Structure 1
Amino acid sequence: MVSAPVLVGVDGSPAGLAAVAVAAREARMRGIGLRVVHAFFWPMMRVPLEPSSMGPPEGGLRNQAERTVEEALRHARETAPDIEAEGAVVTGDTLPVMAEESRGAALAVVGSRGLGAFTGLLLGSTAVHLAAHGHCPVLVVRGAGDPAREGPVIVGVDGSPSGGAATEFAFAAAARRGTALVAVHAWSPWRAEAPAPRDPAAPYASAPGELAANEERLLAEALAGRQERYPDVPVERRVLRGGPREALIEASREAALMVVGARGRGGFTGMLLGSVSQAVLHHADCPVAVVRAGGGED
């Protein structure tokens, strides 16, 4: 494959196959290849990999791993017959394997929970780890996992560098899908940027409506220039007073895709994933793309 492919991780779980279908559709829309990877950790455990002398020749852990990839490739080609797809069984633990594989990918796609997840977990460790440590945008397939799910692309906007990369990614995603973009900016007086200094004799720190106007302006500035580059993408702006986590999770019910930055302007230094992106990853009703600053659309 000449261009960086869409990467998808599989483990034989239904969530993994749902991720394959979404990844295949992403590859087709982008006009690039698909790489299916299964992390094979059993060699590290020093257990027998080949078929037992007492069992069928198609048995054994190595054959099982190869069948997992073959099944995923069949599913990908059923979803998008015209894409170029390749598969690989890579020795190693899932988390470092997928993080390393993401270095050469345009987009990494994973299911929300694989075979190794504990019952009751809303999100598996692979999805969390890759969203935090991936070297490209990461798409976590939540909800029903329908690759052709309809609805707008929704992006959370907060004015941060990571949010800017997410906005660029979201515009490109909406353009590929031929759908609308909904830009959501949620704010509260406790999280709003401080207004310019006013007359000390004024009775209030800000004039009536000034905070809301500042937040409207923040959203307009975040979208500036991108609407000109994507003139065919209808854009709806939503400036909501309230918590961003609640606003985005509610908006996800109508979305084909939710896009968030890895860390917003309120995140603590050193955090790889902010509280908003973590909340959306765990509770959104649609696939969620997490984009890091400098890791937007290619």
Structure 2
Amino acid sequence: MTNAAPVIIGFDGSSAAERALRDSAALVGPRRALVVTVWEAGRAFETATLPIAALEMPPAMLDIRSATEAELEQYEAARRAAQRGALIAREAGYSDAEGLAVADDLTVADTLIRLARERHALGIVVGTHGHRSISELLLGSTSSSLVHKADCPVVVVRARDDH
């Protein structure tokens, strides 16, 4: 019998996320998985006004239709990634897997933590690329934030280093 509490898996479609998904299935056994792809709602509207705001120019006319279409495309891409992740999860050995595209709360980490609390999750799984960018040094990586803030176990699977 499988546990009703799911494992929350952050899935962005990268090879690191796919490896985390596959490796975690072997680690936790046949459990339910909620494969979550977090997308940034409102990004299309921000992008349309960002250059103008940075130059301190008056606001430009925003093409609401184009921004709305871009938002829908971003959501659809996230939904497809989550569904693909759920399929991979079932193939890897999770007893059941649901894909879910979610607009972020504040950060990806905050969103995954909120979902873990709401679903009484067994834990959270994420992959990491094993390198840090300037933005990660300033803002903190998703995996680091999860390890420090989550009140459930967090498994971070590092991407393979082929060098």
Query: Which TM-score band applies after superposition, normalised by the shorter structure?
Result: 0.5 to 0.7
1:261 pairs, out of 117, 124, 127, with: 127
Distance in 2, Cα, partners of 1:227 & 1:236: 9
CA-to-aligned-CA distance 1:66-123 (integer Å, 9 cap, x gap): xxxxxxxxxxxxxxxxxxxxxxxxxxxxxxxxxxxxxxxxxxxxxxxxxxxxxxxxxx
Deviations along 1:177-230, one digit per CA (max 9) or x if unpaired, are x42111111111439xxxxxxxxxxx5156262221111112223344442343
Which residue is equivalent to 1:185?
A: 37
Distance, in Å, in 1 between the alignment partners of 2:72 and 2:108 is 20
Higher RCO (CA 8 Å, separation ≥ 6 residues): 2
With structure 2 as the length reference, what TM-score do the two structures score?
0.65
* Change over 3 Å in CA distance of 1:239–1:167 after alignment to 2: same
Listed as ranges, the gaps of 5+ residues in structure 1 are 1-148, 192-202
Opposite residue 143 of structure 2, the aligned amino acid is: S
Greater helix fraction, Structure 1 or Structure 2 = 2
AA aligned to 2:10 is G
Q: Please, which runs of 5 or more residues in structure 2 have no aligned partner?
A: 45-64
Report the equivalent of 1:62.
none
Q: Does 1:234 align with 2:105?
A: no
Secondary structure at 1:155 match in 2: strand
What TM-score do you get using the length of structure 1 for normalisation? 0.38
Identity of aligned residues (%): 29
Q: Is the 8 A contact 1:150 1:256 kept in 2?
A: no
Q: Does 1:154 align with 2:154?
A: no
CA distance in 2, matches of 1:204, 1:280: 34
Q: Which structure has the larger Rg over C-alpha atoms?
A: 1
Aligned position for 2:157: 291
Q: Find the aligned partners of 1:223 and 1:162 in 2 and give their Cα distance.
A: 15
In 1, the alpha carbon distance for the partners of 2:26 and 2:82 equals: 18
Question: Are the counterparts in 1 of residues 22 and 92 from structure 2 also a CA contact under 8 Å?
Answer: no
Partners of 1:257 and 1:206 in 2: CA distance? 34
Contact 1:154 1:170 survives alignment (8 Å): no
Aligned counterparts, 1:69-84, within 5 A: none
SS in 2 for 1:209: helix
How do 1:124-135 residues align onto structure 2 when only pairs under 5 Å count? none
Once the two structures are superposed, the pairs formed by residues 83-94 of structure 1 within 5 Å of their partners are: none
The CA RMSD over aligned residues, in Å, is 3.4
What is the identity, as a one-letter code, of the residue corresponding to 1:262?
Answer: T
Look up the match of 2:49: none
Count the aligned residue pairs.
133
Q: What is the deviation of 1:278?
A: 0.7
Q: How does 1:185-264 map to 2 (within 5 A)?
A: 185-189=37-41, 190=43, 204=66, 207=69, 209-230=72-93, 233-242=95-104, 243-253=107-117, 254-263=120-129
